[in-house]
Structure 1
Amino acid sequence: MNRADLSKQPADVAAMFDEVSTHYDRTNALLSVGNAALWRVATTRAVNPKRGERILDVAAGTGTSSAALATTGAHVVAADFSEGMIRVGRQRQAGNSRVEFVQADATKLPFGDDEFDAVTISFGLRNVVEPQKALAEFYRVTKPGGRVVICEFSTPPARVIRSAYFAYLHHVMPAVVKLASSNAEAYDYLGESIAAWPDQKALAGWLREAGYAHVAYRNLTFGIVALHRGVKGHTAAQD
């Protein structure tokens, strides 16, 4: 079994996701107690895709989020560095001409400058070995006036929620994963990576450092997840 660790070596992370690709969406639905679909809706609304726009969905996995973005008529490039995820995604979205799969590293995107109306990533930035480098790449490929939307696990601000959540990660989630996933050890890394991930304010700071303006975030599900957003090409004071 392949299992990544907090060094987040790209080859290890990719191999881990290759192994879990077949049952990935089902496992996520179980682990999130159904909230994954709600987070996807919130992310799609924040991106606000419009017909004719070109949108980059990074760490798109099997393309579930990309398909949701494409329903308005936007063309979505679903990028992921896991060959297994891309393979499953192409099979599941075979009849969807608005979703295009590309194998790509978030820190070295194979796209031109100012190419996308919006760039989004859901639950993938945490798995990048150099997340700030990835944010710089997101900024580079975003058109002036374009937007970035990041949905990621975060830190619940309320102590009681935070304590209950981390208890779930350490005690409940491993039992669920053993029943649902083809690689239970991979989800040990999931809990570790969430616990080690910066809080909402730190990620907002990274977005500003990358160059995005009007940076803001809102908590979803008591702050278990946070939805961050920003805009490229504005010189006005940031939020």
Structure 2
Amino acid sequence: MEDVSRADMQKDPEAVAGMFDATAKRYDLLNSLLSGGNDRLWRIHMQRAVRPQPGERILDVAAGTGASAAPMAKAGALVTALDISQGMLEVGRERHPDIEFVHGSATELPFDDDSFDAVTISFGLRNVQQPRAALSEFFRVLKPGGRVLVCEFSQPPVGVVRKSYELYLRTVLPGMARAASSNPEAYRYLVESIASWPDQQTLSQWIRTIGFTRVAHRNLTMGVVALHRGRKPTEATGAMRLARHAQEEQGA
């Protein structure tokens, strides 16, 4: 497990998948314990931000066991839950047999252009080896006018909160993980991946650079978590097709 215990491991997809395979059965329970129950609150905020409508097609990336996908499906949306970990998918299919679970990578989504009304990802983008490539894939599979929602750990903007949070990550959380988990190295990776993740403004800029408009974020739990959102412009699909056509003409 040592090869996946460092946030600088380049986030090899196979290593990350193996790490989550090993924690799949107790993953949701441990997350609730280590977050002090705030994970439920964060999912409620995500659900309200997505505002899933009956019949909408929603892709939930890094869906894990389906904890975030299930409320959207209950609201009547047609949810596809994608994850790189087969272990997570197996648990998800057992718990939520009405949701479509698909094995795949966030950076190579196995879906056509303009397929979904919304793409969501909760606490998974920082585990992707190339997060900006994943954001580009989200843009590609969204319908024109579709929305992206990213809920991720972030950097508290207030200094005293940030220092307290960093102390919690360095001391309290690892101790709790050792006591509660059979795979505490996975939670050591969690701590380091959070500490090395960029702040709210940087992630917002990544989202804008991909081509999303109406980009904004909302801090949750004093900035420990940030909920980011954006829209795919309605004219984006035509522009992308013209660009691809131009490239094909040049290569001909």
What does 1:24-103 align with in structure 2 at a 5 Å threshold? 24-94=27-97, 97=98, 99-103=99-103
Q: Distance in 1 between matches of 2:28 and 2:83?
A: 15
Structure 1: gaps spanning 5 or more residues: none
Post-superposition Cα deviations, 1:126-156, rounded to whole Å, max 9, x if no partner, equal 0000000000000000000110000000000
**Other-structure match for 2:124:** 124
How far apart are residue 234 of structure 1 and its match? 4.9
Of the three residues 22, 26, 33, the one matched with 1:23 is 26
Number of matched pairs:
232
**Other-structure match for 1:167:** 167
How far apart are residue 180 of structure 1 and its match? 1.9
| 1:23 match: secondary structure | helix
Largest Rg, 1 or 2: 2
How far apart are residue 71 of structure 1 and its match? 1.4
Q: Which segments of structure 1 move beyond 4 Å, counting only runs of 4 or more?
A: none
**Other-structure match for 1:229:** 229
How far apart are residue 3 of structure 1 and its match? 5.3
**Other-structure match for 2:245:** none
Q: Structure 1's 181 and 155: CA in aligned 2 closer, same or farther, altered over 3 A?
A: same
Question: TM-score, length-normalised on structure 1?
Answer: 0.95
| 1:227 match: secondary structure | strand
Q: Match of 2:214, as an amino acid?
A: H
What does 1:204-219 align with in structure 2 at a 5 Å threshold? 204-219=204-219
| 1:16 match: secondary structure | helix
**Other-structure match for 1:140:** 140
Q: Distance in 2 between matches of 1:156 and 1:3?
A: 29
Q: Structure 1's 39 and 234: CA in aligned 2 closer, same or farther, altered over 3 A?
A: same
Q: Match of 2:22, as an amino acid?
A: E
Structure 2: gaps spanning 5 or more residues: 236-252
Post-superposition Cα deviations, 1:55-102, rounded to whole Å, max 9, x if no partner, equal 0000000001100111110010000000100011111112xx2x1100
Q: Distance in 2 between matches of 1:36 and 1:132?
A: 25
Q: Match of 2:128, as an amino acid?
A: V
**Other-structure match for 1:185:** 185
State the superposition RMSD in angstroms.
1.0
Q: Distance in 1 between matches of 2:2 and 2:24?
A: 12
* 1:112 and 2:112 are equivalent in the alignment: yes
Contact 1:77–1:100, Cα closer than 8 Å, also in 2: yes
Q: Distance in 2 between matches of 1:234 and 1:111?
A: 19
| 1:118 match: secondary structure | strand
Q: Distance in 2 between matches of 1:168 and 1:225?
A: 14
Q: Match of 1:194, as an amino acid?
A: I
Q: Match of 1:102, as an amino acid?
A: V
